[in-house]
Amino acid sequence: SQVQSFTVILLYMYCESLSIAHLLLKDGQFPITQNVTVVEGGTANMTCRVDYNDNTSLQWSNPAQQTLFFGDKKALRDHRIELVRATSQELTITIGDVSLSDEGLYTCSLFTMPVKTTKAFLTVLGVPARPEITGFTKPAMERDIITLTCSTSGSKPAANIRWFRNDKEVHGRKEVNATGKSFTVRSSLQFQVDRRDDGAAYTCSVEHVSLSNPYMTTEVLEVHYAPQLQIEPSLIIPQEGQYFKLECVSIGNPIPEPVLWSKDGGELPDIERMIVEGRELTITTLNKTDNGTYRCEASNHLGTSSAEYVLFVYDPNAVAPHGPDHALIGGVVAVVVFITLCLIIVLGRYLARHKGTYLTHEAKGAEDAPDADTAIINAEGNHVHAEEKKEYFI
């Protein structure tokens, strides 16, 4: 019986401890929420949870402290706000077609004594409008100074604009203006155009956190410039009897028209062998009478240009191309002759130097030799000296 009484006491104490822990947990817990980021026009999911709840209500309210839902009861008449889940431990709602005005601090309340609250910030991203390029009227004249302006509105935070010329980035001047909660962004390029800009593609790219890919728009420039001409012959060395063509190559915008041909400052000869077709002058069979200065001329509204070509018709028999073998042989012969001359000069100097040394020693021996009488007298003298004298006279 004492054991039973002791067991009952232990069970009672255990239950009391659980009750106290439950009360402490209930009274000390706060709702759990998370900040939410959504793109303008999208749907925001707002969730509030508690770890333990004994049927105490949860409530969501907006930044203006207007109650949206109290448990499963809708309090604000807004068709965009809907209930997803309402239990004793969770209250989840959605806000559809979100606008920038919906941004702010939302409050989840747990109605204990005292009331526990937790806030969640709803961030709304303003999607930028598709960019437009303005300020350019086609066509531009060469050396004109033009300004290209790219603009986009409605972004939040402010969008970033980048410029590209034929896929190579160029830098513009940026301007940001606030319009309510959103921003209007402009970027301008100012430069002097030349003929290299004709057909160049200038692309404006708008980048923003709300976009998975940038918005882009492109403007292709049209630049008018004066013509440039050059004449290209079909043969480098034209010869009698050959088919020959001159082409007047023109560069200009608008394309220079028409092309006028002349020879030696006057009109072309009226002969069947000479045919003009647009930019080409053809001579079907060359002869010496075709020699002269040929000129083509073309113009557009920005100016006139011309080019000249001096034609000299060669006699086929007089044109004797020198093969590479003749040149090679001539070069080798020249090198051999040069080396031979160098060897002769070096050998001559060597022989002259050594011959001079020999004559010097010979002359010295003659000066040191005694006369005949002395030689006879000395012959009877010392034998060693006689041997030395013999060596001297050898």
CA distance 311 to 269: 14
CA distances from 267 to 263, 271, 274, 380 (A): 6, 12, 12, 118
pTM above 0.75, yes or no: no
Ranges of the chain whose pLDDT falls below 50:
3, 6, 8-10, 12-26, 322-323, 325, 327, 358-394
Our CA angle for 196, 201, 205, nearest 5°, is 140
What DSSP designation does 113 have? Answer: S
Which pLDDT score, from 0 to 100, does residue 55 have? 77
Cβ contacts of 84 within 8 Å, gap of 6 or more: 45, 92, 93, 94
pLDDT of residue 7: 52
Q: What is the pLDDT of residue 366?
A: 44
Cα 207 to Cα 209: distance, rounded to the nearest angstrom: 7
The torsion angle over the Cα atoms of residues 193, 197, 198 and 200, rounded to 10 degrees, is -140
What pLDDT score was predicted for residue 54?
72
Q: Give pLDDT tens digits for 85-101.
A: 999 899 999 999 999 99
pLDDT recorded at residue 317: 85
Longest dimension (CA), the chain: 174
Q: 218 and 150 in contact (C-beta within 8 Å)?
A: no
Q: Is 119 in contact with 33 (CB distance < 8 Å)?
A: yes
Report the phi/psi class of residue 241: left, alpha or beta, with left for phi > 0 and alpha for psi in -120 to 50: left
Q: What is the pLDDT of residue 359?
A: 44
